[in-house]
């Protein structure tokens, strides 16, 4: 197994991409309330700030800021994924390896993370995250996707309601993130 090097910063701000194992699945939006509950449970045990989040049918992106002195995003993801799995019936296809290990066949084992470096990097990742439903063809306008912090950002005056209704040039993507 590869040993990934991490650049961890206590209290850092991170961009994440988390995927379902089966990319043709819609579990995340079908069970978005369970996902929200899983995040709330995690935040009760291991607080963090949600800067932004978008949930698509088979993957999600988010930006978190960890508490001062804290670098442990991995266990937070473990809590979220575990709680989500426990709320679903065991009816997914599982490999023999997963069955043998007692693992579910819901999530990809790893996730992608990227340490936000500066204000421009933060803005680029915010834009990428919020534009993602349009990028993947789920909607024509960012404001039409219901499972996004975009609406909260509009209410706070960060984005206009018609932001990115035309073409947008994004300078960020999963390519600069590393698997966890």
Query: 2 pLDDT exceeds 80?
Result: no
Q: Measured between alpha carbons, how far is 97 from 160 in angstroms, rounded to an integer?
A: 48
Kindly report which listed range (41-45, 60-64, 152-156, 174-178) carries the lowest average pLDDT score: 174-178
What number of H helices and E strands is found in the chain?
6, 5
- % of the chain surpassing 70 pLDDT: 88
The predicted model scores a pTM of 0.87
- Say which residue the tokens 């002195």 belong to: 69
CA-based R_g, the chain, Å: 16
The per-residue pLDDT for 68 is 94
The per-residue pLDDT for 99 is 80
Could you list the active site residues? 147
Closest Cα partner for 115 from 180, 53, 44?
180
């Amino acid at each position: 197994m590869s040993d990934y090097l991490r650049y961890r910063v206590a209290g850092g701000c991170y961009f994440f991409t988390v995927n379902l194992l089966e990319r043709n699945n819609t579990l995340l939006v079908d069970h978005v309330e369970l996902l929200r509950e899983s995040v709330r449970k995690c935040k009760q045990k291991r607080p963090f700030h949600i800067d932004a989040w978008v949930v698509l049918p088979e993957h999600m992106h988010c930006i978190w800021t960890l508490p001062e002195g804290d670098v442990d995003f991995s266990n937070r993801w473990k809590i979220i994924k575990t709680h989500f799995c426990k709320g679903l019936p065991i009816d997914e296809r599982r490999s023999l390896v997963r069955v043998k290990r007692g693992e579910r066949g819901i999530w990809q084992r790893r996730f992608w993370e990227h340490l936000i470096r500066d204000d421009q990097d933060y803005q680029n990742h915010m834009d990428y995250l919020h534009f993602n439903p349009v990028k993947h063809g789920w909607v024509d306008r960012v404001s039409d996707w219901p499972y996004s912090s975009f609406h909260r950002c509009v209410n706070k005056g960060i984005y206009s309601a018609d932001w990115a209704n035309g073409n947008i040039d994004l300078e960020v993507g999963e390519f600069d993130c590393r698997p966890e």
